[in-house]
Amino acid sequence: MKITRVVAEAESLRRSSPVRDALQTLDTHGACRVTIETDEGISGRASIGFGRLDAAPALLAALIADELAPAAVGEDPFMIRGIRDKLQALTDYHGTAGLATLGIAGIDIALWDLVGRAVGRPVWRLLGARRDRVPAYAMVGWLNYDLDDLKRVCLKAVEQGFRGVKIKVGAPTLEEDTARIEAVRAVIGPRTALMVDANQVFARHEALRRGRVYEQLGCYWFEEPLRADDTEGLAELARALTIPIASGENNYGRRQFRALFEARAVDIVQPDLRRAGGVTECLEIGLLADAFDVPYASHGGGVHLHLLAALPNALFLESGLLPEGAPTRLIDGCLPLPEGASGNRCARPARRATWVDGNWSLPQITALDDGAPGGVDRRWPGARRLNIGDVWPGMSGKSCALRAKMAVPPPDEDAKRSSEEGRGRATPMFSRIVPRAPAGTSSSSPRAESRSSPGEVAVLMSADRPADRRPSAQFVQVAEGEVARASRQMLRQTRMAVPAPREGAVVAAVELERAP
């Protein structure tokens, strides 16, 4: 398997309700989405998020497209560390720390996603899992919230089952910080962990003064009291205070983290998956931290859940509130690890669809893959996202229009020559599709090169006529992985159409994702 293409796409939207910490206002929902494609039709995806700076996603996309992607094309996607090292060496001249590291992280995360898809396993199992659930806390207490809003969101986090809540500190006065901490403690009770985060705004003497108060108030940790690069100052605070010092979200690469550990500058390390450099780099950072007896608490959630499942020193996953109606539930304050997930989304987005009462019931489909549940992938005009539990109605005699992995690729030159005789080559990418062609339906055009092996599939591909014209519909039956012959026009077809099957029929291994 070889990488054939790396695509980076940028998006930046304004937040309708900006939030603020002591350092900055986060007013943007930005993302740079990375897709890695291979010659075997398997792809991996990642998304690098931005909370501010409207132009940043586009700048990162340009850096990936112009500098990193050409270096990754042609590589074996399973050689993840080798690709990471190659990209770090490539960017060393202008400096790897910074935007280049975010780009490397995007490629690294997408590679792990791709590998998970290729082997059909969640990434946390590939990393060498230690646990199947991870303790979680909720970061909910933004500095622009008044006391009533602060208490409301913190109480909701506790009601959802989180083991702790985190609030922002660094208000103009210590008295304001104290009032916020006491208000939250009053509603969450004495047993729920309460973390405080200063976002790097204090000088050393002020951090020491406020830190002594925070520890007296029973705060669980004091996060980013100083600039991320003030390793000496962090070490001084760690020695002077009994409250644990947490930092690391603004450090880049394992060597910066090594300096933190050697100086004993952090009691809890908090890498950010983007700035640290991706799954591979964070795994190495976490294991290095374990050698120094430093617990690991993620900055951010998402893909970090997979890493924390594998790390022996995992302490907490950072999360926000769980969305209303989300299928995920905390179990004893822990988030369960997903089965079938790879990287930041499912390796097998849907495995089974069942025909019931004239509808395809799709209980496991989660996406047409562009991010948040319920969204629509604008790259597919008119495409509809299916969520867990959705039923896609009315397919009797109609095209299902699944832009899916069964989409037939354009023919190669050999196939183009044979297509003049009405035949080309295509390789269906499903492990099994049933029901097969009904009795009496022509299967002679397009023909199948059948070896009569088990696992035959029946796929109706209709590019030039509607699928509900049953007498003229054409089926192709092929064994798993076998080469089928189809017309040149059908080779361009990107839809899956299935006639009304019998009650209880199943279509298995459907993967809703953009076709190559």
pLDDT score at 192:
96
Show the DSSP H helices in 93-225 as ranges.
99-119, 123-126, 147-160, 174-188, 204-216
Residue 147 corresponds to which tokens in the numbers above? 């006391």
Backbone φ and ψ for 211, nearest 5 degrees, come out as -60, -35
pLDDT score at 417:
35
pLDDT score at 436:
31
Render pLDDT for 127-185 as a digit per residue (tens, 0 to 9).
999 999 999 999 999 999 999 999 999 999 999 999 999 999 999 999 999 999 999 99
Position 215 pLDDT exceeds 60: yes
Position 381 pLDDT exceeds 80: no
Asked if 347 and 358 touch (Cβ cutoff 8 Å), the reply is no
Asked if 305 and 337 touch (Cβ cutoff 8 Å), the reply is yes
Burial of 212 (0-12, 13-18, 19+ CB in 10 A): middle
């939030």: which residue's tokens?
19
pLDDT score at 451:
30
Asked if 435 and 499 touch (Cβ cutoff 8 Å), the reply is no
Our separate counts of H helices and E strands in the chain read 15, 22
- The answer for residues whose C-beta is within 8 angstroms of residue 30's C-beta and 6 or more apart is 10, 11, 12, 13, 49, 50, 51, 52, 53, 54, 56, 57
- The answer for residues whose C-beta is within 8 angstroms of residue 194's C-beta and 6 or more apart is 164, 165, 166, 167, 181, 184, 185, 188, 218, 219, 220
Q: Are strands 475-478 and 457-460 parallel, antiparallel or unpaired?
A: antiparallel
CA–CA gap between residue 21 and residue 103 (Å, rounded)? 26
Render pLDDT for 264-278 as a digit per residue (tens, 0 to 9).
999 999 999 999 999
Asked if 237 and 208 touch (Cβ cutoff 8 Å), the reply is yes
Q: Which three-class secondary structure state does DSSP give residue 276?
A: helix
Q: Which three-class secondary structure state does DSSP give residue 354?
A: strand
Position 351 pLDDT exceeds 70: no
Position 395 pLDDT exceeds 50: no
pLDDT score at 90:
97
Q: Which three-class secondary structure state does DSSP give residue 151?
A: helix
Q: What is the 3-state secondary structure (H, E, C) of 59-99?
A: HHHHHHHHHHHHHHCCCCCCCHHHHHHHHHHHHCCCCCCCH
């049953």: which residue's tokens?
470
Report CA-CA distances (Å) from 345 to 122, 351, 397. 9, 14, 32
Query: Global pTM?
Result: 0.68
Mean pLDDT of 215-233: 97
pLDDT score at 9:
94
From 282, 363, 280, 377, select the one nearest 327 (Cα to Cα).
363
Asked if 171 and 22 touch (Cβ cutoff 8 Å), the reply is yes
Mean pLDDT of 25-43: 94
pLDDT score at 401:
30
The number of CA neighbours under 13 Å toward the Cβ of 303 is 32
> Could you please report the per-residue DSSP string of 399-466?
B----BTTPPPPP-HHHHHHHTTT-EEE----S-B-S-PPTT---SSS-B-----S--EEEE--SSS-
Query: Where does the pLDDT of residue 340 fall: very low under 50, low under 70, confident under 90, or very high at 90 and above?
Result: low
